[in-house]
Amino acid sequence: MKKRTVAILMACTLILGATVGVTFAWLISGPKAVVNTFVAGKVAITLDEAEVNKSGTAISSAQRVQENEYTLIPGHSYDKDPTVHIEAGSEPCYVFVKVQNGISTIESSTNSIERQMTDNGWEVLSGAGGTNGTVYYFKTNTGKNAGVAVDANGKITVRATGNPVDLVVFESFTIDGTKAHNNEISALSANSITVTAYAIQALGSTSAADAWTKGGFN
């Protein structure tokens, strides 16, 4: 109530001040439209990985690609570094990846994709994915993703301009020589490792799980 009274008194003082003197001119302000401009926020991501040669080693000078082919050999390790890029200027967001690992039964447990993802700050999103792959959300700035600005709930803040925010998913995979022989590898020859990336603005969601549900992802 006191604040409103002060505002009224100040307005009165200004009016009286305009009448001081022998002559004065009216201060006229014509009608002006109030224009509200609405700009849609954006969240833009891409997903790629390093191109590899026939032995599965990354080609440093090559452009990054969306697909590679591998010849599987027991005991051999392969470069594979799927990375999500969040475009500069994107709204604060939650980022998810779904991993469908068709070679998990012959993969080395000491260098598993899941272990690498945990080391790089990805956490399984409970209740998502089911039999159609495992869904992870980016939770912690650690490992290859130590420099990412993310809060305790997984909300990622992106730069307004400049370089994108890069989220490394994992870096390689290894075929376990004790699990995989030629017959096991042949049985999985039509399988693949598929990574799918998702992102949704954080505004309006209380958590990564809430954002996943509101995004209608599957």
Judge whether 111 lies within some domain. yes
pLDDT digits (tens, 9 = 90+) for 135-169: 999 999 999 999 999 999 999 999 999 999 999 99
Judge whether 30 lies within some domain. no
Judge whether 197 lies within some domain. yes
Query: How many other β-carbons are positioned within 10 Å of the β-carbon of residue 83?
Result: 21
Structural domain boundaries enclosing 150: 45-215
Judge whether 53 lies within some domain. yes
Judge whether 54 lies within some domain. yes
pLDDT digits (tens, 9 = 90+) for 177-206: 888 777 788 888 889 999 999 999 999 999
pLDDT digits (tens, 9 = 90+) for 78-124: 999 999 999 999 999 999 999 999 999 999 999 899 999 999 999 99
Is the confidence at residue 34, as pLDDT, over 90? no
Among left, alpha and beta (phi > 0; psi -120 to 50; other), residue 160 is alpha
Judge whether 125 lies within some domain. yes
CATH code assigned at 109: 2.60.40
pLDDT-based confidence at 25, cuts 50/70/90? Answer: very low
Q: What is the mean pLDDT of residues 52-58?
A: 95
- At residue 143, the 3 state secondary structure works out as helix
Judge whether 14 lies within some domain. no
pLDDT-based confidence at 32, cuts 50/70/90? Answer: low
Domain count, the chain: 1
Judge whether 18 lies within some domain. no
